[in-house]
Structure 1
């Protein structure tokens, strides 16, 4: 008599994720993933036990993890070979473990390949506070020789897509990150990847999938918590009604070698389901990321880069700091150019000591003067950057990535510190810890401005570099808990779930032009929470759309996340300073709602009117921009655009802060409001408080 295959049911905040062991115990497969149900769905909509005349049963299955050897012809997650022996993995199920504690459930499914002497544990984690399913795999080598992992993904998520899939993704380049795009995929493979040792500017490790015939319906989304080289593959089969999304690291230099007795753990892959389309998926990602954040206040920052670039002088910086304090800024950050040898982009990186010529009264005294203005103090650093003419390179030329006998590539006139080396990583941590210990610093911006080259063929340099990057960030947060960490990489080159768990705020782009930036932020908010989105008011015209915009437009745009100022405020007149102070005061009054509220986006920045709505604790904040032409002159009919807030309670009443008018939630939801009644205004903020 055949015993029934084991089944496991995981429950998130509002969804269910159910898995069974396939007949024959050779693999686990997804059976149901969708709205929460109380029962085990049997048979699940993704199960298939029919004929497979021209492929293996595993190739037709919704496999949770597919090694070469169990599967042969379709998407694979693991390709492993033992030195001098067995290639491919055929494993059997050995045990399971379900752990439930404090609203967290962890499931561990163990498999063993006796011939290859490999063990594998498929790991799942869900929480009752959000809808993300976290997955990873732990691989163990129980043999006497090394195992070569030629491909090792973290997980695969199977999505029902009868008739094919609509894929939503983000692409970009420097100064044009997080551009949203979609593609139809009925058959074949779609790939996103980065092979530069960083998350990358060109593509984001995030994907959303919808059935082609339901563009606003059920949506599944996946993201990878990894900051090195990565890939996401979506394989669609419209006839079979299935799209499989595999996520994981990409071993760049060589296969990953697992020594006898060692265990290899992949990065975490995250997936979620929403019945409310892309917008619902975005809110689900935000809820998950809010659970990753530390309880630290994110200050309104002034950053000196646009005002001074490399021309950092204590007296000028203090002049900027005084004006920043008058505006209501809370932290003053000195950007690039504060350290020895840094008068342009050709020197200094690696020599992280304040330049005495730029701070003749001493750096400690300068920091104290800034803090005496009531401001926190911050610094920009690029720990992985090394200038060829730096003291660090002269003393430790072997600490940068290079291939002996080959020319070394400079990008932005710099090399890359080999953070895969433990001695170089220890130096980087000691240097940063020393700065934070010697000076009264409350904000640190970590930048990384170039991809990896000349890495050579060392043992998993990509993985070791990223692991040490994480360890340094974790140590800084542990030993300096009051310091806010901002992540940056030539703009948005390190925006991923792993960095988001270790940095307090992220820099989406170096492009601060008002219209360009609005499109970048629109894409960012599709996958990342506003509390992670650092945004500045600057004087920059933009790169791709240079249409002039008001100071109000720039402030409202920067208020959409974590507000900062980067303009040359020493050149602002009194009227501009007073207007800016009012905007900062307004932002501070709703900061908690904007950073941690539920987000609804109305329209698109490429349309004539665009609004981002935030709601939390009975308060709604609507930020609106007129991105296109005005609605017409007095000689032409044109009704003003209305926005219907989605976060209102229809049974409640609300009061507008600006004019004191009272509105029912039902009227707001049904008839909406006019956020831009004045044709001459190009931006507005409407705040509604429940009464």
Structure 2
């Protein structure tokens, strides 16, 4: 079948061009950048000469198997059991839907495998989605050892600057970078989730063009809630090639005749405006994922965990709810400890019934009392968790991950349910339906506080062959099935995603929840760094952030209550402090901040974001511009030394704003100060920091 010279995909402002090369044996990237970048010689062109490698090893291939590409890293490693690994393709046709979707098919008749490369643009964004469909067409099964979602080629001149997000529990989303001139960079999670150590997100820039704000920047993000891997290689000839995909727990997947495996989607983004511009591309994409629910304002919540821990009872919770309502909170969430057997973390998980001893007047009466205060009501659950002392475990020990004859590992004194099992899914669905159908619950916080360890599903005589299981994919499918059910069966319920903090933040979860919890660390300076990294990859309307009394774990410098509020107002505002111990003055200040947040949260959640500096700078901030530009909100923080005034000469710190209209006039709604747009772009907003005044929220209106 004859193919055209190339296929073009167009997003709002970018073009992605693909050609068929290698005598029709593989597809290559020809151009990726702003509209018009495809007109001219491809930056991926190479001489075609090779020595000691094959042409496929040097090609900027979109996706290519081991066999055709034996040396420099293949995206697909497949074989028939008992046979040698490798696949050799022939092009088998293309289907294109305008400039919005493309499918390229390659066949290997001897192996019995058809590979379809899939592309789709996302309306209103500069994101191209890529994934691969693998179909067993022969009489024998195919063993898939590696099956990435896609490969992304980036033309660089002097090596690549890779930016990624790394950390650990309580220190997630730390922004890191490394220069890759030669060799390989790889990160992964095998914890059955996105994980705390690395995030399935990567940005690539040309190291020879370091001017932030004007550097063409490419990004990828993998939509997968299980094990994953991202690999970046400095290829022969100088280009950088990034591969991303899921990692099967068993090491390989067996594809039976007639069946198709669909890889997770890989979102590919481009911005000519550096990391800051790339962040805005991701924010627009995540507003698209949220869909029509983006217009539902996120309520200011109060969560009782840091005030009471497991010591949950109706009287104590109502005391907190009353104070929270007086502050202006719109939602009260009871965290861990509300169900039977949950005096501490050694029991109760799996037995999801309100503890009658702690709610003597009945749980419904308690919920009604909270709602009578003018607030919605929410509840914490951990559907995948199970305590060995629970009634559920006594009835169904076979529901947990385990390996026959081997000890089990307790993490947080609990085990993990095998959510890939249909009977476990039905239990979780019935449990959540019962809770949400029996009680007036408008908010659900879904937590996951341990990864799978002994990940086995002991087979029965009539059960499946363990070698043909795909436990990681099955668990992800069960998890997403339950979230999808919540959306359709309980559309009024707001769902928060959490996994010991930010352990399960990726696009599959973000598309099915309303907010996510980036970290269990709520200390002011620590959290500022976490949120700075988070906002490079994810949108403010997805970022749940609480004001608490927590001291710093990594940066113990004290900060004001204002600092904590302005920090939390940069996303979705919540309060988690023990407000019973706040002074009347602190409560009054909190009420003022909450009232201000309600006035500007639509700008924060829907606006165009600019990240102004970083927490490593003495002054940093985040700028949010309302669609149309009528209002601009700036959250700013002092993270470094003061200016020495009044004892020594000193000038106020300044934050240069971005993207404003130079000829317009902007008025500070609090002070009445008027600024020309050019002044704010060139000189910036002034901040006279003091030990007591270490954060500020500025609202500007454009005339």
User: In the alignment, is residue 482 of structure 1 matched against residue 480 of structure 2?
Assistant: no
> Who is 2:166 aligned against?
171
Counting only pairs closer than 5 Å after superposition, residues 123-522 of structure 1 correspond to structure 2 as 123-216=118-211, 217-237=215-235, 240-294=237-291, 295=293, 296-456=296-456, 457=466, 459-522=469-532
* Preserved contact between residue 297 and residue 602 of structure 2 (Cα < 8 Å): no
> Who is 2:616 aligned against?
606
User: In the alignment, is residue 529 of structure 1 matched against residue 539 of structure 2?
Assistant: yes
Pick aligned residue for 2:677 from 642, 646, 665: 665
Q: Deviations over 1:452-511 (max 9, x none)?
A: 111125600000000110110011011111111101011100011111111110100000
Structure 1: how far apart are the matches of 2:100 and 2:3? Answer: 24
Q: Deviations over 1:322-347 (max 9, x none)?
A: 11111111110000000000000000
- Residue 42 and residue 3 in structure 1: after superposition, are their counterparts in 2 closer, same or farther (change >3 A)? farther
Query: What's the offset of the Cα at 1:50?
Result: 1.7
SS of residue in 2 equivalent to 1:205: strand
Query: What's the offset of the Cα at 1:270?
Result: 1.2
Q: Which moves more between the two structures, 75-84 or 410-419?
A: 75-84
Query: What's the offset of the Cα at 1:60?
Result: 0.8
User: In the alignment, is residue 684 of structure 1 matched against residue 703 of structure 2?
Assistant: no
SS of residue in 2 equivalent to 1:291: helix
* Preserved contact between residue 229 and residue 245 of structure 2 (Cα < 8 Å): yes
Structure 2: how far apart are the matches of 1:86 and 1:433? Answer: 49
Gaps of 5+ in 1: none
Q: Which moves more between the two structures, 664-673 or 159-168?
A: 664-673
Structure 2: how far apart are the matches of 1:513 and 1:59? Answer: 48
Q: Deviations over 1:425-474 (max 9, x none)?
A: 11111111211111111100000011111112560000000011011001
Q: Deviations over 1:232-259 (max 9, x none)?
A: 000013x612000000001122311111
* Preserved contact between residue 350 and residue 385 of structure 1 (Cα < 8 Å): yes
* Preserved contact between residue 630 and residue 680 of structure 1 (Cα < 8 Å): no
Query: What's the offset of the Cα at 1:34?
Result: 1.0
Q: Deviations over 1:362-383 (max 9, x none)?
A: 1111111111111110000111
* Preserved contact between residue 298 and residue 562 of structure 1 (Cα < 8 Å): yes
- Residue 3 and residue 320 in structure 1: after superposition, are their counterparts in 2 closer, same or farther (change >3 A)? closer
Pick aligned residue for 1:78 from 76, 85, 98: 76
Structure 1: how far apart are the matches of 2:483 and 2:495? Answer: 8
Structure 1: how far apart are the matches of 2:180 and 2:242? Answer: 12
* Preserved contact between residue 5 and residue 23 of structure 1 (Cα < 8 Å): no
User: In the alignment, is residue 51 of structure 1 matched against residue 49 of structure 2?
Assistant: yes
Structure 1: how far apart are the matches of 2:172 and 2:300? Answer: 23
Q: Deviations over 1:552-594 (max 9, x none)?
A: 1110010010000000111222111111010000001000111
- Residue 580 and residue 673 in structure 1: after superposition, are their counterparts in 2 closer, same or farther (change >3 A)? same
SS of residue in 2 equivalent to 1:588: helix
Structure 2: how far apart are the matches of 1:336 and 1:292? Answer: 29
SS of residue in 1 equivalent to 2:100: strand
* Preserved contact between residue 3 and residue 94 of structure 2 (Cα < 8 Å): no
How many residues are treated as equivalent by the alignment?
685
Structure 2: how far apart are the matches of 1:643 and 1:53? Answer: 53
Structure 2: how far apart are the matches of 1:42 and 1:79? Answer: 34
What CA RMSD, in Å, does the superposition of the two structures yield over aligned residues? Answer: 1.5
> Who is 1:22 aligned against?
21
Structure 1: how far apart are the matches of 2:575 and 2:490? Answer: 25
SS of residue in 2 equivalent to 1:10: strand
Query: What's the offset of the Cα at 1:196?
Result: 1.2
Structure 2: how far apart are the matches of 1:468 and 1:679? Answer: 50
Q: Deviations over 1:302-331 (max 9, x none)?
A: 000000000001011011111111111111
Query: What's the offset of the Cα at 1:671?
Result: 2.5
* Preserved contact between residue 192 and residue 227 of structure 2 (Cα < 8 Å): yes
* Preserved contact between residue 507 and residue 535 of structure 1 (Cα < 8 Å): yes
Structure 2: how far apart are the matches of 1:570 and 1:4? Answer: 71
Structure 2: how far apart are the matches of 1:651 and 1:92? Answer: 58
- Residue 42 and residue 20 in structure 1: after superposition, are their counterparts in 2 closer, same or farther (change >3 A)? farther
Structure 2: how far apart are the matches of 1:171 and 1:360? Answer: 46
- Residue 674 and residue 483 in structure 1: after superposition, are their counterparts in 2 closer, same or farther (change >3 A)? same
Q: Which moves more between the two structures, 257-266 or 603-612?
A: 603-612
SS of residue in 2 equivalent to 1:316: helix
Structure 2: how far apart are the matches of 1:198 and 1:128? Answer: 28
Structure 1: how far apart are the matches of 2:11 and 2:109? Answer: 35
User: In the alignment, is residue 675 of structure 1 matched against residue 687 of structure 2?
Assistant: yes
* Preserved contact between residue 22 and residue 56 of structure 2 (Cα < 8 Å): no
Structure 1: how far apart are the matches of 2:424 and 2:289? Answer: 28
* Preserved contact between residue 3 and residue 93 of structure 2 (Cα < 8 Å): no
Structure 2: how far apart are the matches of 1:200 and 1:467? Answer: 17
SS of residue in 2 equivalent to 1:663: strand
* Preserved contact between residue 384 and residue 419 of structure 1 (Cα < 8 Å): yes
User: In the alignment, is residue 643 of structure 1 matched against residue 655 of structure 2?
Assistant: yes
Structure 2: how far apart are the matches of 1:602 and 1:527? Answer: 15
* Preserved contact between residue 620 and residue 647 of structure 1 (Cα < 8 Å): no
SS of residue in 2 equivalent to 1:233: strand
* Preserved contact between residue 609 and residue 627 of structure 1 (Cα < 8 Å): yes
Structure 2: how far apart are the matches of 1:66 and 1:74? Answer: 11
Structure 2: how far apart are the matches of 1:147 and 1:213? Answer: 43
Q: Which moves more between the two structures, 652-661 or 387-396?
A: 652-661
* Preserved contact between residue 340 and residue 354 of structure 1 (Cα < 8 Å): yes
Structure 2: how far apart are the matches of 1:30 and 1:132? Answer: 16
